[in-house]
Amino acid sequence: MSKLVGAALLGQSGGPTSVINASAAGVFIEALGQENITNVYGAIHGIKGILNEDFYDIGQEDMDELLRLKNTPSSAIGSVRFKLKDPNVDSSEYERLLEVFQKYNIRYFFYNGGNDSMDTCNKISKFFKDHDFECRVIGVPKTIDNDLNVTDHSPGYGSAAKYVATSLMELYHDATVYDTKMITVVEIMGRNAGWLTAASALAQSKGQGPDLIYLPELPFDLDDFYTQVLDVLNTKGKVIVAVSEGIKTKEGKYIPEIYTDLKRDAFGHAQLGGTAQVLAQELERRTNVKVRAIEFSLLQRSAAHLASKVDVEEAFNAGKEAVKAAISGKTDFMVGFKRLSSKPYQMEYVLIPLDEAANTEQKVPLEWILPHGKGMTQEYIDYALPLIQGDCKAELEDGLPRFAKLKKVRVTKK
């Protein structure tokens, strides 16, 4: 193994999670302790920050505050939604990245994101190799959607799942308080994969959750849905429905789209609103029962106060493992999780070639999804439960979370 001496850079990409800062903390703290790493930088808003030579000098930060990142939601260094151009069509962005990496002698590059991001760092790494610039590139997974391939799960999922299950249990208690008929429709994130909506089955398994659960992996039929809701309504008088924002008809239309069509037919104009709201309006029209639409919205990905301890520690360790792997000479891998056992939960960190992790989507296995909105099988429950264990949150200051306060010293442009 060659001894490679230079700076380390972390960038983050895509929608944040409760624990993406925990991974940043893992990368930063591990990198600061490595003698081959001369400087530790955080790219401000991911790839954009690199293109603009816009970095934080993490060496200037206090260790206490870096540790507080473990319990601080979202991305302290900033994230970005930015797709690099195809280098075969236009390589100018890649040339610029190479120029910046050379100028700052960045020899360790860590990129924390979802499958798009793994594709990005894969392409960057290949470009650097083709131009004989030695730089070790390791991806760190991140997504509440849990849709990254090959790895058993991804940091961010466990905490978001815990939020979804806990909040649904609480809503269950709230929704059953009156003796009047009521339907509650809760919308959960996940455009293509239903992992997060599936977490509502954890509340259901406690008898304090949704009656009906709809994932985007199965086609959604509005009339079947209505029949299923009515069945529960007639039996129990209360219905709680958990729907993924991404449910689609067998023709591939999202719910707000079909409703727009319905409404267009009836009144000649389009209707705004998310999936839950549209379903709520339609149910209210059909049942004459009070229907409430609730969106967990950004809360489900930022509620660090309800983070899973397992998730926080794994996110932190994934960051550390990425640095250790790079220092040991590895490149072009993503840190992944391999489950050895669920009861008791045993997991080991593994390195997954970026090629395998990039650009593919891991959906919920169809055999784990019960038909007719009935929920999830025990296999899913056994899979998910270990990921939501334990509490881990910021200490309180004045009764409110004391989140990390970084100095955010910018690196002087060269």
Q: Which residues bind a second copy (CB under 8 A)?
A: 15-16, 44-45, 48, 72-76, 78-81, 162, 165-167, 169-171, 173-179, 184, 202-203, 206, 208, 267, 269, 271-273, 281, 292, 294-295, 297-299, 301-306, 308, 385, 388-391, 396, 398-401, 403
Three-class SS state of 291: strand
Are 157 and 327 in contact by the 8 Å Cβ rule? The answer is: no
Q: 37 vs 312, which CB is nearer to a second copy?
A: 312
Nearest to 46 by CA among 107, 121, 106: 121
Q: Cβ closer to a second copy: 19 or 325? A: 19
Contact 142, 316 (CB under 8 A): no
Task: Tell me whether residue 3 or residue 267 sits nearer to a second copy (CB atom).
Answer: 267
* 104 three-state secondary structure: coil
Judge whether 145 counts as a catalytic residue: yes
Sign of the alpha-carbon torsion through 33, 38, 39, 43: negative
Tokens of 199: 């977490």
Q: Closest approach of Cβ 7 to a second copy, in Å?
A: 22
Please tell me what DSSP assigns to residue 248.
B
Strands 55-57 and 37-43 come out as antiparallel
Phi, psi of 371 (to 5 degrees): -70, 170
Amino acid of residue 338: K
Q: Which is nearer to a second copy, 4 or 262 (CB)?
A: 262
Q: In the complex with a second copy, which residue's Cβ is closer, 357 or 394? A: 394
The DSSP symbol for 402 reads -
Catalytic residue (one of 145, 152, 211, 311): 145
* Whole-number Å distance between alpha carbons of 188 and 212: 13
Helical spans, DSSP H, in 131-247 = 157-175, 195-198, 200-204, 222-236
Number of H helices and E strands in the chain, helices first, is: 15, 15
Nearer Cβ to a second copy (207/371):
207
State how far the Cα of 395 lies from the Cα of 362, in Å rounded to an integer: 35
Bond into 155 cis (ω within 30): no
Catalytic positions, written as ranges: 145
